[in-house]
A and B are shown apart, each in its own frame.
Chain A
Amino acid sequence: MHFTLKIWRQAAPRAKGCFEHYAIDQVDGDTSFLEMLDMLNNKLVKENKETIAFDHDCREGICGACGLYINGRPHGPDDGITTCQLYMRRFRDGSEITVEPFRSKAFPVIKDLMVNRNAFDKILQAGGFVSVNTGSAPEAHTTLVSREKAEESMDASSCIGCGACVASCKNGSAMLFVASRVSALSLLPQGKPEASRRARAMVLKMDELGFGSCTNIGTCQMECPKKITVAHIARLNREFLYCKHSDLQE
């Protein structure tokens, strides 16, 4: 197969970027999208041209490092996968493919297709954890957790922190990301005591970091590679409201 790639190139965070065109051929359908980019980069090395920077690591859809905006969709044309799980057999031979970084105010471009998602870490630092010191946990079976709750928590906890939800949202909101963590923890008895405080701290941090607010459009859910649903946003809102009430009462 052969393709024309239209790829965003940008030398540095504040540099002006532009699209460049590249041709690539002899691509096997079983080659992954990132392997195809490897091929292109190796071709560039042979021509002594600077390679295209992009984030990646596990290449099996779990680390959340990869994330490209391909033909107008985060992680490309298929549902429920990350960029690294996309294979070239998915594209029409000879077609043009547009590749851009995830774009959002809160994710400044570092170089080419690489963005800074540090804001996600900061949101989690604001409260995305259970405050328990090492060594103080009771025996694991002291608190039972119903299977349904554990499974639901696991669904929410599947978030890989890739940022596709933010990139897909016209408000640039991180609600789905925040909701996934809040929900995963508040569904478990272990995470309950801090649930409201957690929700509040994370939402406030999200606002502070320049993410937009949620207007229930739902593109995040459509583009999430782990199929996290907006039902978790509803739970987040509940925790958040509860928090406001209890604050008022105090």
Chain B
Amino acid sequence: MAGILNAKIPEGPLDQKWTLHKENLKTVSPANRSRMHIIVVGTGLAGASAAAALGEQGYRVNVFCMGDSPRRAHSVSAQGGINAAKNYRNDNDSVQRLFMDTLKGGDFRSREANVFRLAEVSNAIIDHCVALGVPFARDYAGYLDNRSFGGSQVSRTFYARGQTGQQLLLAAYGALNRQVALGNVTVHCRHQMMDLVVIEGQAKGIITRDMVTGRIEKYPAHAVVLATGGYSNVYFLSTNGMSSNASALVQCWKNGAFFANPGFVQIHPTCIPVHGTHQSKLTLMSESLRNDGRIWVPKDKSLAKRLQEGSLKPSDIPEDERDYYLERRYPAYGNLVPRDVASRAAKERCDAGLGVNKTGKAVFLDFEKALETKGREMIERKYGNLFQMYEKITDENPYKEPMQIFPAMHYTMGGLWVDYNLMTTIKGLFAIGEANFSDHGANRLGASALMQGLADGFFILPYTLPDYLSTKIGELLPEMAHPAFVQASEKVKQRIRNLMEIRGRTPVDDLHRQLGQLMWEHAGIIRSAQGLTETFDGLEVLRERFGKETGIPGSDKTVNQELEKALHLEDFLLLAGLMVRDALHRKESCGGHFRVESQTKDGETLRNDKEFQYVAAWEYKGPGSEPELHKEPLEFRYIHVTERKYK
């Protein structure tokens, strides 16, 4: 079974693989490039950078996004920063160390060669972003500043206040705009990809819906690049933008692209707690806050109870009554343990009755000591906008009382399976950024997603995609009248008709919220065989209700946001089943995947390398059939696989 997946990892020593591989990759001559058409779906960091870099080389690129402008992509909301192995702090950082941290952070469930390459190109990203005009934070002498992030003992995170994602995206979007002006790239905003067109086993184009006119359109290409981001919104409440969705991934999966590690998701420990039943999304408080903020709950349940009732203020609780549980349990990393560890610890304390707000689902993130020792001005400069954001949302002043935080769904490590060239199991279909599974294993370290998106888009795909295109020189684009295009487009139209004809009265949001609760409960921070098994039934009920009750008023020939949401939910419902299946089959705990059946005596994750040291890649087998599991064994030749300890 394993033979079906060929990761195409090049030969040679780890630190030379990428260099040697590049030498072997074929290129396309400049004269031929303008005849090669590439589709890029998504304009986040991954999509925008890829489209810009390919445009620079002279290819003809069509880019699609759902927002009214490429700049709205969800990458814009990343706050904390981007990693690179510059070693500007002289704290003994290196490519090797960034590689080791990332691999260990992912709990040895990612591919050695890919992760090394990521660390290797990280420095070039910073160089390029500086050149593009990103106003990274600087020190008084004019040098770039760094901060620390979880899961690492060096300071390697570059940042632009609390708006790093925005600034990087503006840079990538700027590079994209330049190519639009030069005529190499065409942008299609408010267009949703509805299906992939596959001809003779090769990706040859996409079908889209114009979200303003409702028109179903066909776009042919020599290759298709998916950069549509992650699927955290399966859980309804997440830190992702409202339009983040899995539809393009799911449609490609149905067309034959394997889906890898769908159950590996990341729950972020520092988010503003849920406050009401009409809440539409959760807000992240950047992990960088853990540089100076200390996490605690009261030692005593009776004190917690009074906090919950509101009869006690946190500042009333004396120092020796506070339990800085991360510092206590993990002295080496303290408040900067990786996200999964911090999330589980918070849940554990709250489950023990020590939560600090009225729902009992919150812990404190306290800046008292930092304000005392570093001064308000310093804290304000570092985190001013985050503190402000917190105050706007909660109406409470974090300079006076500690913040309240709780874990929330944040990021998906799983995604389309790709080989070393970032190509999926469908020839000519590539996946980059959060949409692929490649680099983060079972847990992603902070500030590594931005790095990966830009690595894929600026520095990897522009080398590997031409290698594929070099086999297509002289090949004409398929005609729009090609049966594959006609069929795919008819299928999409039929799907929309079916949804419009349900004519129910239940808002999509209501069903989606229920899906989210179900998944959070059983496929969230903590998972068990029993809980996961029960979820299948719950999903079946929701799918049935979706098919009978969904209400989509209005017409599909104009802006119809209920229809857009319904399309997303239908795909989420399918993907949720796959996520549960994956989580159920992996009877070990690793990274963010915590199975109660597999833990150490102190409640830490217990990996089972003998049985589960592989990537689980799932093949779609048609409606009603069970997906088939393919395993890509993970080999670690250059790193010693150890227990992941942060004590």
> Is B558 on the interface with A (CB-CB < 8 A)?
yes
Q: Is the CB of A129 within 8 A of B178?
A: yes
Q: Is the CB of A45 within 8 A of B505?
A: yes
Contact stretch, chosen from A136-144, A171-179, A215-223, A230-238: A136-144
> Is A249 on the interface with B (CB-CB < 8 A)?
no
Q: A30-B276, A118-B189, A134-B56 are in contact. Are A51 and B161 (CB under 8 A)?
A: no
B393 partner residues in chain A, CB cutoff 8 A: 85, 87
Q: Is the CB of B163 within 8 A of A158?
A: yes
Q: A124-B177, A138-B127, A184-B135 are in contact. Are A45 and B553 (CB under 8 A)?
A: yes
> Is A244 on the interface with B (CB-CB < 8 A)?
no
Q: Is the CB of A137 within 8 A of B130?
A: yes
* Chain B residue at minimal CB-CB distance from A49: B553
A126 partner residues in chain B, CB cutoff 8 A: 181
Q: A51-B561, A55-B68 are in contact. Are A31 and B276 (CB under 8 A)?
A: yes
Q: Is the CB of B553 within 8 A of A48?
A: yes
Bound complex: CA of A38 vs CA of B513, how far in Å? 13
Contact stretch, chosen from A59-67, A69-77, A91-99, A206-214: A59-67
Q: Is the CB of B278 within 8 A of A38?
A: yes
Q: Is the CB of A57 within 8 A of B74?
A: yes
Bound complex: CA of A75 vs CA of B459, how far in Å? 39
B126 partner residues in chain A, CB cutoff 8 A: 140
> Is B486 on the interface with A (CB-CB < 8 A)?
no
Q: Is the CB of B177 within 8 A of A46?
A: no
A81 partner residues in chain B, CB cutoff 8 A: 392
Among the listed A28, A45, A87, A161, which residue makes an inter-chain contact with B562, where contact means beta carbons less than 8 Å apart? Answer: A45
Contact stretch, chosen from B18-26, B103-111, B137-145, B537-545: B137-145
Among the listed B123, B135, B180, which residue makes an inter-chain contact with A125, where contact means beta carbons less than 8 Å apart? Answer: B180
Q: A42-B507, A134-B458 are in contact. Are A57 and B241 (CB under 8 A)?
A: yes
Count of residues in A whose CB is under 8 Å from the partner chain: 82
B67 partner residues in chain A, CB cutoff 8 A: 57, 63, 65
Q: A34-B280, A145-B142 are in contact. Are A48 and B69 (CB under 8 A)?
A: no
Q: A38-B280, A58-B77 are in contact. Are A188 and B558 (CB under 8 A)?
A: no
A143 partner residues in chain B, CB cutoff 8 A: 130
Q: Is the CB of A146 within 8 A of B138?
A: yes
Bound complex: CA of A146 vs CA of B503, how far in Å? 61
Bound complex: CA of A136 vs CA of B180, how far in Å? 20
Q: Is the CB of A35 within 8 A of B280?
A: yes
> Is B416 on the interface with A (CB-CB < 8 A)?
no
> Is B641 on the interface with A (CB-CB < 8 A)?
no
> Is B488 on the interface with A (CB-CB < 8 A)?
no
Bound complex: CA of A111 vs CA of B555, how far in Å? 13
Q: Is the CB of A59 within 8 A of B281?
A: yes
Bound complex: CA of A57 vs CA of B510, how far in Å? 19
Q: Is the CB of B133 within 8 A of A184?
A: yes
Bound complex: CA of A11 vs CA of B559, how far in Å? 9
Bound complex: CA of A188 vs CA of B138, how far in Å? 12
Q: Is the CB of B505 within 8 A of A129?
A: no
Within 8 A of B (CB), among A83-132: 85, 87, 89, 110-112, 114, 116-118, 120-121, 124-132
Within 8 A of A (CB), among B272-302: 275-276, 278-281, 283
Within 8 A of B (CB), among A167-220: 184-185, 187-188, 190-191
Q: Is the CB of A137 within 8 A of B143?
A: no
Among the listed B170, B178, B243, B459, which residue makes an inter-chain contact with A131, where contact means beta carbons less than 8 Å apart? Answer: B178
* Chain B residue at minimal CB-CB distance from A185: B133
A12 partner residues in chain B, CB cutoff 8 A: 558
B131 partner residues in chain A, CB cutoff 8 A: 130, 132, 136-138, 190
Q: Is the CB of B242 within 8 A of A59?
A: yes
B507 partner residues in chain A, CB cutoff 8 A: 41-42, 45-46
Q: Is the CB of A28 within 8 A of B69?
A: no
Q: A42-B507, A62-B77 are in contact. Are A48 and B68 (CB under 8 A)?
A: no
Q: Is the CB of A42 within 8 A of B509?
A: yes
* Chain A residue at minimal CB-CB distance from B139: A147
Within 8 A of B (CB), among A10-41: 11-12, 28, 30-32, 34-36, 38-39, 41
> Is A229 on the interface with B (CB-CB < 8 A)?
no
> Is A1 on the interface with B (CB-CB < 8 A)?
no
Among the listed B72, B167, B187, which residue makes an inter-chain contact with A63, where contact means beta carbons less than 8 Å apart? Answer: B72
* Chain A residue at minimal CB-CB distance from B158: A140
Name A residues whose Cβ lies closer than 8 Å to a Cβ of B: 11-12, 28, 30-32, 34-36, 38-39, 41-42, 44-46, 48-51, 53, 55-65, 81, 85, 87, 89, 110-112, 114, 116-118, 120-121, 124-141, 143-147, 150-151, 153-154, 157-158, 160-161, 184-185, 187-188, 190-191
Q: Enumerate 8 A-B pairs (CB-CB under 8 Å) in ascending A order.
A: A36-B278, A51-B553, A51-B554, A56-B242, A63-B77, A144-B143, A150-B135, A154-B163
Name B residues whose Cβ lies closer than 8 Å to a Cβ of A: 49, 52-53, 56, 67-72, 74, 76-77, 86, 88, 123-124, 126-128, 130-133, 135-144, 160-161, 163, 165-167, 170, 173-175, 177-178, 180-181, 187, 189, 212, 241-243, 275-276, 278-281, 283, 389, 392-393, 395, 458-459, 462, 503, 505-510, 551-554, 558-559, 561-562
